[in-house]
Amino acid sequence: MNARAPRILLVNPWIHDFAAYDVWAKPLGLLLLAAVLRDHGMAVSFIDCLDRFHPKAPPQNPYARHGRGPYHKTRIASPSGFFDIPRNFSRYGIEPEWFRADLAAIPAPDLILVTSLMTYWYPGVQETIQALRAYFPGVPVILGGIYATLCTDHAAMHAGADRVVSGDGIRPIFSWIESFTGYRAGLRFDPEDLDAWPYPAFDLQRAIGYVPLLTSRGCPFSCAYCASRYLEPRRRVRRPERVTREIRFWYDTFGVTDFVFYDDALLVQPERHIVPILKGVIRSGMAVRFHTPNAVHIREINGPLAELMLRSGFETLRLGLETTAFESRTTLDRKVDEGQFLRAVACLLGAGFEKRRLGAYLLAGLPGQPVADVERSILTVKDSGITPVIAYYTPIPHTPLWPAAVAASRYDIAADPVFTNNAVFPCMSEGFSWETLSRLKNLARSD
């Protein structure tokens, strides 16, 4: 039995892709684990391979663009099979020699935890784990996160970790630690109670330009293109006053003013959840800004809620529209109809939101999707008075649309998730070309 509490290194891996940009992207799950381990007496280290503020990287202001910004990048060879993609491929994040220097600066760990995000980013996970093994030979590596959960068998075969784990890591983390280090400890809070969790260990970062907020987990909808129900089968919600208290903590302690909602269903049952949160923020007098890159559900937005969102500081508001081909959208989701969309937009504009703050996501590149549907959706959103934001479709395993995506793709996406990259439009239908994409982008941008 190991009497000493183990040292644990947590690593956010590199991204390998045609393009990547920090649009309020943080490894929230990994930093939650770091906070739990630290609260249970373990020594934790955190290295972010995507660290935009590394001392050897070109300087960036962490507060510019409300916390967003470009990653350092290095051009690398693209994966074999992308012969038809006329774009450069890069490693996004710190240089490998910077990573080795960071590893040299920390105590040798007893266990390494690596997270993963997009399924098609797994080559970056591979490179990260190879570098960790080279520097700390013999130290066990556990891989978790979204890729590990959605593509568990592929990750077990190809990632290079000692163990690949799926789902939420909070409950089983101590059994993993015991099996690899011999150290036994018990979880001292109920993981079912989201309000009992510690705040994520954002203080382990070099800079805190913004803070992601997770006020709920899970989503009541079952959209054909989304894996939320697979990743989080149940919906759980934090108490509004605890959310407001967390905002106050980051605001007072670290001077954070930009907050990013990571919820999949932020506006569901608004009177019981988001309304009291925002009223609490207004009462507190905090001057903050809120951003919703995950999009919000449209049909809950009415006049009073729109006014409350404006008063509390919503700066970047994205609506989950996906398409205005309402006559056929029941095969995708049942989130909103045309009348609900137009009423929501009217309420937001009527409350005083400027057009620059408002955007509606529109999916492009769905299996069998007519180009005309995307064009019509862009024009409908523009006519409503807000900005269309094209979101490229990513085929995701375990979603209802996955079989159609496998059948439609020009790649073998079932065999290798690298080909699910939305930058290559893997399910591009007949009539959908790179020229078409350029035309759609121009249509969305034009006034």
Same domain for 87 and 222?
no
Residue 248: inside a domain, yes or no? yes
Residue 139: inside a domain, yes or no? yes
CA 127 – CA 74 distance, rounded (Å):
14
The CATH number linked to 324 is 3.20.20.70
- How buried is 438 (Cβ within 10 angstroms: 0-12 exposed, 13-18 middle, 19+ buried)? exposed
CA 322 – CA 225 distance, rounded (Å):
10
Same domain for 148 and 227?
no
For residue 22, report the phi and psi dihedrals to the nearest 5 degrees. Answer: -80, 90
Can you tell me the mean pLDDT for 7-27?
A: 97
Answer yes or no: are the C-beta atoms of 318 and 285 closer than 8 Å.
Answer: no
Higher model confidence: residue 184 or residue 324? 184
The number of folded domains in the chain is 2
For residue 261, report the phi and psi dihedrals to the nearest 5 degrees. Answer: -80, 120
pLDDT at 334 over 80: no
Residue 358: inside a domain, yes or no? yes
Same domain for 41 and 151?
yes
Residue 373: inside a domain, yes or no? yes
Same domain for 95 and 214?
no
The CATH number linked to 38 is 3.40.50.280
Same domain for 264 and 407?
yes
Same domain for 232 and 341?
yes
Same domain for 155 and 224?
no
Nearest to 72 by CA among 102, 103, 46, 48: 48
Q: What is the DSSP code (8-state) at residue 428?
A: P
Nearest to 230 by CA among 149, 335, 156: 149
Residue 64: inside a domain, yes or no? yes
Coil, strand or helix at 307: helix
Which tens digits make up the pLDDT trace of 91-110? 999 999 999 999 999 999 99
pLDDT at 51 over 80: yes
Nearest to 125 by CA among 115, 112, 113, 135: 115
Same domain for 281 and 143?
no
Distances, alpha carbon 87 to alpha carbons 98, 257, 410, 412, in Å: 26, 37, 18, 20
180-183 contact pairs (CB < 8 A, 24+): 180/110, 180/111, 180/140, 180/142, 181/2, 181/6, 181/110, 181/111, 182/1, 182/2, 183/1, 183/2, 183/4, 183/5, 183/6, 183/110
Q: What is the DSSP code (8-state) at residue 209?
A: S
Same domain for 230 and 333?
yes
Among 138, 166, 181, the domain boundary falls at: 181
Domain that holds residue 217: 210-445
Sorting pLDDT into bands at 50, 70 and 90, what band is 24?
A: very high
Q: What is the largest CA-CA distance in the chain?
A: 68
Answer yes or no: are the C-beta atoms of 435 and 384 closer than 8 Å.
Answer: no
DSSP string for residues in 98-111: HHHHHHHTSPPPSE
How many percent of the chain have pLDDT more than 90? 83
How many percent of the chain have pLDDT more than 70? 97
Sorting pLDDT into bands at 50, 70 and 90, what band is 1?
A: very low
Same domain for 249 and 348?
yes
Which tens digits make up the pLDDT trace of 229-279? 999 989 999 999 999 999 999 999 999 999 999 999 999 999 999 999 999
DSSP string for residues in 18-85: S---BSS---HHHHHHHHHHHHTT-EEEEEETT-TT-TTSPP--TTGGGG-BPPPEEEEPPPTT-TT-
Beta bridge partners of 360: 319, 388
Residue 48: inside a domain, yes or no? yes
Which tens digits make up the pLDDT trace of 120-175? 999 999 999 999 999 999 999 999 999 999 999 999 999 999 999 998 888 888 99
Among 181, 201, 218, the domain boundary falls at: 181
Higher model confidence: residue 165 or residue 435? 165
Which tens digits make up the pLDDT trace of 347-379? 999 999 999 999 999 999 999 888 888 999 999
pLDDT at 432 over 50: yes
CA 199 – CA 367 distance, rounded (Å):
40
CA 359 – CA 377 distance, rounded (Å):
13
Kindly compute the dihedral angle of the four CA atoms of residues 114, 120, 124, 127, in this order, to the nearest 10 degrees: 90
Same domain for 84 and 228?
no
Residue 191: inside a domain, yes or no? no
Among 133, 162, 181, the domain boundary falls at: 181
Same domain for 45 and 136?
yes
Residue 188: inside a domain, yes or no? no
pLDDT for position 329? 61
